[in-house]
Structure 1
């Protein structure tokens, strides 16, 4: 049996008629940049997510940068974020001219340890970017409470948490804004780079939209300098089709994750992901912790099972951040877990016999 880490081909086959029609319509109308397909997706996403504004961008990285720039974050400022995430979260802080300040992860849920945030706040701190990693919501109410205490912005990185919930409120709706990636492998993925941001703040939405479109809402009427970060018509049309299926897909991801956890239960070799109380984990990734991780990964590869590591190095220990001179003791949980975490195949199209084959293969490795 051969099992890919993500099976976008099967997803396409299941939606082939709708996807092909959407692509064909865009090409027929040459609606490649701007136009009705962008408007349709922005309105559709905002409506389904229950927010006032959704601003589409070229990718998820840009959406973080655009939010921070529109909030006036710049040189001399500091922004707090988590030690274990994709580099987009931190590099956009630097791109704004600010300094990323890292916080270790919670040992149980792998999101930012909210109990360690307050000690990192200084007079230069302007915002906190919690990352709802793997689809797991942070302790976002506690983070928001800390931010309110110090008059800081909360910008939620929702690149892996489309439609995750905490106390029945969706990821991205607790802070001033939420950033999304629609990279092909995401729970809601385009067929190329794509992203967007949500906010209920009218002024911020206007600034973000303007900044993402060369500083102009009307062509040649530039009120400021901005950047070129536009979602294209093809990706918008594809995402509009897929958006109709996101709730069904999320339910299937949760179901598949439960299947894994049930097979692994009461096993000392595999630590399965927990789900925070009062939350809906959308399971962008199903991440286990194991000993002999690299040997296990090689073993699974030989059995036709593709896995991944998210992420092999915590951000503070990348060469890009060597100037910060962090030590292992600064982020002990992140550093310890980096040799243990392993992401297993998880997607709506994954069948039970495939899940069983993967899980039993892992258990057989430790016999």
Structure 2
């Protein structure tokens, strides 16, 4: 058995970052202040400044709560319909259901795997309250037509930017286009915390004021409930770790793009592999490097035997999940999403992946298709 290549591993890609995080966490522990303190306020300010002038960031407990809070802040609730891509992770659909709205699924683009304005427009009705595009795998959606569509029909646009920290569309960062955006800081994200964490980003003062209250039991002043809220607060330990990591986000993303460039060069014309494609004016930060092949299952088994970890994002499309049968979709409802689920395979790609490890992955892929 050759040396194992993990699908993902947390490594000190920029030497000393782990130590900086440890020292920052110790300072929080010594401060004795763990909820909605200075570290959260500093991170919210710094991440907002990173995104764009005028963007307000509100930290919450996780990416799912960020989606729910953004939808509620935008006025999406009972009786509303929200357009979401049919190939996203189930969290996006769950968030829509959580606020009492109905998710209306749209087929993604077959090349970029992202929701498009053309796909969304087909299913807009009088009940459509919002469009929820997902910047899947780290590539931005083509946002300008989606923005035009939302303005044309007078509906909200909420970005799911959970996988796209630092990705650009026409030079502007994901999470800065719509009425609001939701970010996840789950540890595996390009900007990941030490546990769960999330944030809403918005330039709308009304939405930001709602989110600030809603995340903290509906109160702005302690013990004065202005609305029915929840307990979903980014804690000080997560915020201090994110402050350190934010300083290196562009460096991390540059390394992801460098590793992706190697795969794109070396795997071109290998077997029936379909490589990731970048849409016009969209940049990719490769949260996931997803290839496609008709031999997905046998290839994954082969790579595992070679000591190489992989992932599948996602093996069952949301419309075929048991939990969502009540939505009325069935097999064949979304052929593109179903094809993606059958053929997609995610390769190891993370800051700190060694040259020899990537070479081992490439060599194993070429051997598989040479023998088959």
What band does the TM-score fall into relative to the shorter chain?
A: over 0.9
Aligned to 1:19: 21
1:204-254 Cα shifts (integer Å, max 9, x gaps): 111111111111112112111100000111100111010110001111101
1:178 to 164, 178, 181: 181
Which sections of structure 1, spanning at least 5 residues, go unmatched? none
2:348 to 345, 348, 352: 345
Alignment of 1:357 onto 2:360: yes
SS of the aligned residue for 1:120 comes to coil
Q: For 1:301 and 1:10, how far apart are their aligned partners in 2?
A: 25
Q: For 2:95 and 2:103, how far apart are their aligned partners in 1?
A: 9
Q: For 2:190 and 2:251, how far apart are their aligned partners in 1?
A: 11
1:19-77 Cα shifts (integer Å, max 9, x gaps): 11111001001121111111111111111111420000000000010011112211111
Alignment of 1:120-159 (within 5 A): 120-159=123-162
Aligned to 2:49: 47
Aligned to 1:32: 34
Aligned to 1:219: 222
Determine if contact 2:60/2:199 at 8 Å carries over to the other structure: yes
- Between stretches 350-359 and 9-18, larger displacement belongs to 9-18
SS of the aligned residue for 1:81 comes to strand
Q: How far is the alpha carbon of 1:360 from its aligned partner?
A: 1.4
- Between stretches 20-29 and 346-355, larger displacement belongs to 346-355
1:2-24 Cα shifts (integer Å, max 9, x gaps): 11111114459742320111110
Q: For 1:215 and 1:65, how far apart are their aligned partners in 2?
A: 14
Aligned to 1:313: 316
- Between stretches 299-308 and 125-134, larger displacement belongs to 299-308
- Between stretches 342-351 and 158-167, larger displacement belongs to 342-351
Q: For 1:317 and 1:240, how far apart are their aligned partners in 2?
A: 39
Alignment of 1:1-367 (within 5 A): 1-11=3-13, 14-51=16-53, 52-367=55-370
Which sections of structure 2, spanning at least 5 residues, go unmatched? none
SS of the aligned residue for 1:65 comes to helix
1:138-161 Cα shifts (integer Å, max 9, x gaps): 121111111111101000000000
TM-score, normalization: structure 2? 0.96
TM-score, normalization: structure 1? 0.97
